[in-house]
Amino acid sequence: MVILTLNCGSSSAKYQVYDWDAKDVLAVGVVEKVTVGGSFINHKVKGKEEITINHDCPTHLEAVDLIIKTLTGKENGCLPDMSVIKAVGHRVTHGGSKFTKSVIVDDAVLEAFGEMTDLSPLHNPAQILGVKAAKKVLPGVPHCAVMDTAWHQTMPPEAFLYAVPYEWYEKYSARRYGFHGTSFLYTAKRAAVLLGKDPFKTNLIIAHLGNGSSINAVKDGLSFETSMGITPLEGLVMGTRSGDVDPALPFYIMRKTGMSASEIENAMNKKSGLFGITGKYADRRDIQKAKLEGDKRAALAQDIEAHRVKKYIGAYQAVLGRVDALVFTAGVGEFAFFMRQKILEGLEGVGIVYDPAKNELSHTRSAETLISKPESKVPVYIIPTDEELVMTEDAYALMAGTYDIHTKFRYSFQGKEYVNKSRAESLKGELEKNPGLKNIIAVPG
């Protein structure tokens, strides 16, 4: 049995094909530059080299159609036809307060997602289009929505309410929602396995650092506080998003420049963050290269980003009281050792002591690593996220009628014996090139 997962972003459509019986990934890929022109698909089938195919995708409908044709193509496909797919899991960014767990998508659910487009104008419309396109191609199988916001529905009112007129919350649902929930769910469960602790007796700080970044305080296995707010703009400094600013700043700039509200919103979402500071770079690799070449604004951008993450780590330690582990995940968290270094330096006073050599060794998505020194009161793990696996398991369980909220549901990756086959295979090659990696691989407690 095969399960397809789709993750439609504002200008992309990621996918994964999973063989449920073999517990293995058959293919992964992404369609880039959807809606903006110059679209192409990067497609990787197990055991084969990755390929790139140029194909115009003016909307996500064409992107999903391209994915289906590529998966079933004679030359580069991995499926005989679409009939072998028995369920589809869809990522949905904003589920508001209505959804506390994944659901099977029907007309009422789609309508509810449509009502939330004001809360997620960049993502929800694209994801709704993706669901509709996939349902058209695969009408006879369950389509399941996995919401980024669902994980954070356990936050208490003191964490999710803003100190603004209460009627804004009552009338307009204005509150903190948080995002990256599927990633936090996976890494929280895996951290408990590595620690050898009951997941619901585990306190964690998890930093999901990518182009979009957020940090999550997990108390007794539940989301307790998170940095993103009513939208993904609040919190950490990101690739093009500002993160936290004085709420009066937009009004000040509007008065000074005559910019409209929509222009300000666009600037804070797409022209700020690291790109805003450097004036040209949003990718951490570009920023690191520029810094090493003497670019002072690139160095400043790194300092600002690291400072913001440090500030949140300290705040979340105070909120949690006891921290069992600090976890880094997502593209920057998993690969940018230079950013982890800047974040972790100077945290000895709060019980976090990292090992610079171990930190530099850890540059992989194929293994979970431990980069703290033995004397560190708070171990520091790097756990490569696997949102697609969460989506796959939710979709299967919804199809089978066995699914429930994560406090009453057990995932396969919560077992000590769990092995990701595709990552284990990739690790063999990595260890040949980087033998020292073996010494920092984390072992379940």
Q: What is the set of active-site residues?
A: 148
DSSP characters over 327-386: EEEHHHHHH-HHHHHHHHTT-GGGT--B-HHHHHH---SSS-EE-B-TT-SS-EEE----
* 330 neighbors 183 (Cβ within 8 angstroms): yes
Q: Which two tokens stand for residue 150?
A: 């669902």
CA 243 → CA 214, 258, 367, distances in Å? 9, 22, 30
Amino acid identity, position 342: K
What is the rounded distance in angstroms from the CA atom of residue 182 to the CA atom of residue 240? 22
Q: H/E element holding 224?
A: strand 222-226
Query: Residue length, the chain?
Result: 445
* 41 neighbors 126 (Cβ within 8 angstroms): no
* 207 neighbors 309 (Cβ within 8 angstroms): yes
Amino acid identity, position 43: H
How far the first Cα of the chain sits from its last, in Å, is 33
What is the rounded distance in angstroms from the CA atom of residue 179 to the CA atom of residue 150? 8
Q: Which two tokens stand for residue 70?
A: 């590529």
Q: Which residues contact 197 (CB under 8 A, 6 or more apart)?
A: 324, 445
* 385 neighbors 186 (Cβ within 8 angstroms): yes
Amino acid identity, position 96: G
Determine the 3-state secondary structure of 146 from DSSP: strand
Q: Which residues contact 40 (CB under 8 A, 6 or more apart)?
A: 31, 32, 33, 52, 53, 54, 55
CA 342 → CA 301, 302, 376, distances in Å? 12, 8, 17
Q: Count of CB atoms within 10 A of residue 414's CB?
A: 15
